[in-house]
Homo-oligomer: A and B are copies of this chain.
Amino acid sequence: MSHKIRIALDAMGGDHGPAVVVAGAELALARHPECEFAFFGDAALVTPLLSARPALEAVSRLVHTDVAVRMEDKPSQALRYGRWKSSMWLTIEAVKKREADFAVSAGNTGALMVMSKFELKMLPGIDRPAIAALWPTLRGESIVLDVGASIGADAEHLVDLAVMGAATARILFGIARPTVGLLNIGVEEVKGLEPVREAGRILREEQLPDLDYVGFVEGDDIGKGKVDVVVTEGFAGNIALKTAEGTARQVGQYLRDAMNSSLSARLGYLFARGAFRRVRARMDPRRANGGVFLGLNGIVIKSHGGTDAEGFAAAIEIGHGVVQDELLAKITAALGRHGTAPRHALGGAAS
């Protein structure tokens, strides 16, 4: 526990830039005093924020760069002007050089993915990275992947996602043999996309030692926590994640409206304030903020671009959890047991 955890932070990423990143790091430090930080970004903006937080400043270093990846750029554009010198690139590079245990950025997802792939390379046998999200459920938390790293997936990629997701669940949840389901639009064997069916067949037949494949799950099974790991390709996964966030916010708004609708409702709210606070905390999308990029030879966490300091701290927390438990070593071992081997000399570029 006296072991230092070194964290590289892209100070310029996200909608709010350094203000949220530095404040998020301060919150993380309060929870994990063994952390050390490297900030990459515009010194003119970052230095005053650090100076105002002496405890954080004491365990931080700052690497100046005035190049920042823009949120709206294509990955290829970002790579053109941001390679070697942008805050995002330098943040990932710190992981590559083993100067940091993991990297966090709230910046442009596509650019972060491409730069991470470029710098860190993929794990043996994995073609494409994936983003794994922590999803609050009625039973606790599940891992859902891929939530948007790449669009479309063949059966092999879905099986890889199952293996990587299960390894992550083992570490984050401490479950020896996590249950895994394939997201589909019907539980019957007859339904769904061909790659999903084929992946189901492979997982059923392979009987992998590290995961317990339970079959197809539907969208409403995610929130029930029916399985520890929900596997899907990135387009549907991203839509599921965003739709769930939107629905939680929608219900929250309904509640606020209702509790203001009459005197007795307002009175009831006062009595039940503590209970409401707990519900709000459980529904808070910031709690689950932070997608883990899986499949890369290094740990990169993507924070939501629009999050606040609390959400950014949650993203750091996830990285902290997987580093403590040596995620990469365990994924690599699981992939080895699964018998995955490089299938394509050239992996397709994610965008």
Contact = CB atoms under 8 A, between A and B. Distances in A.
Interface of A: 72, 74, 109-110, 137-138, 148, 151-152, 183, 185-186, 188, 190-193, 218-224, 232, 234-236, 238-255, 258-259, 261-262, 264-265, 267-276, 278-279, 282-283, 351
B246 A224 contact: yes
Main DSSP-derived SS at the A contact region: helix
Contacts of A152: 193
A265 B272 contact: yes
A192 B151 contact: yes
A239 B185 contact: yes
B218 A185 contact: no
A145 to B, nearest CB: 14
Contacts of A254: 279, 282-283
A249 to B, nearest CB: 7
A244 B244 contact: yes
Contacts of A247: 223, 243-244, 247-248, 251
Contacts of A236: 235-236, 239
A259 B272 contact: yes
Given A223-B249, A224-B246, 14 more contacts: A110-B186, A151-B192, A192-B235, A218-B242, A219-B242, A220-B245, A222-B246, A223-B247, A251-B251, A251-B279, A254-B283, A261-B275, A265-B271, A265-B274
